[in-house]
Amino acid sequence: MSRVAIVTGGSRGIGAAISVALKELGHTPVAVYAGNDERAREFSEETGIPAYKWDVGDHQACLDGCAKVAEEVGAVDIVVNNAGITRDGTLHKMSFEDWNEVMRINLGGCFNMAKATFPGMRERKWGRIINIGSVNGQAGQYGQVNYAAAKSGIHGFTKALAQEGAKFGVTVNAIAPGYIDTDMVAAVPEPVLEKIVARIPVGRLGHADEIARGVAFLASEDAAFVTGSTLSINGGQHMY
């Protein structure tokens, strides 16, 4: 059955791979983006996937944006909360703005998008919310107290909301990617990246489509008995 899916941060990197994977499964994905109009236009032209622009950290923008998607595309049954930013620095040097912006978008975006779509999923007795966490939210990372806290918060948010959605046929799960070969990781200085790869047992960075396949499973009917779970896709970098 075809479902309407919203993928935040859905026109680049991991989000783009997720959007394409959901389309290939017969769903109707909508990519949400915040700023890069040119990239969003290119993505839509290449894939035929519509792109809608709003800031997931803006609560009202999420309510309005999701309502617009529901009106123009259809009722939203799948949400992938993938949008995220980094503002790295040690606590000694990190500004409140750097802390607050990461929390507002990375964690606040999950709340905002759930508030906009969860009620409809409950009413229709079917839904999938998939939150993209991070290995650094599980294990921590030097210079990322903001990012690690937000991503760790996503894992807790997932477990709590899963309990609310279970009896309504709404599953809520998370994926915790390791280091993936995206633009965000490409910005890491080469010497630092080499040290990171050296800590990954499989000896390489992950690929965006490997995360997308995990999302595709969690969004499927086959995953109806999976909720409140975090799927770690990190090449063995963090095991527990």
pLDDT per residue as tens digits for the range 145-170: 999 999 999 999 999 999 999 999 99
- The CA R_g of the chain, rounded to the nearest whole Å, is 17
Please report whether residue 75 resides in a domain: yes
Residue 187 has pLDDT above 80, yes or no: no
Distance CA 10, CA 34 (A): 10
Domain that holds residue 199: 4-231
Domain with residue 131: its CATH number is 3.40.50.720
Strand ranges inside the chain, DSSP E? 4-8, 28-33, 51-53, 76-81, 127-132, 170-177, 230-233
Catalytic residue among 33, 147, 179, 240: 147
Buried b (16+ CB within 10 A) or exposed e, 120-139: bbbeeebbbbbbbbbbbbbb
Please report whether residue 215 resides in a domain: yes
Distance CA 52, CA 62 (A): 11
**Count of the separate structural domains present in the chain:** 1
With a pLDDT cut of 70, the percent of the chain lying above it is 100
Other Cβ atoms less than 10 A from the Cβ of 70: the count is: 16
Distance of CA 148 to the CA centre of its chain: 15
Please report whether residue 169 resides in a domain: yes
Please report whether residue 141 resides in a domain: yes
**142 part of the active site:** no
In the prediction, which pLDDT does 230 show? Answer: 97
Please report whether residue 240 resides in a domain: no
Over range 43-63, report the average pLDDT: 98
Q: Is residue 85 within 8 Å of residue 36, measured between CB atoms?
A: no
Buried b (16+ CB within 10 A) or exposed e, 177-190: bbbbebeeeeeeee
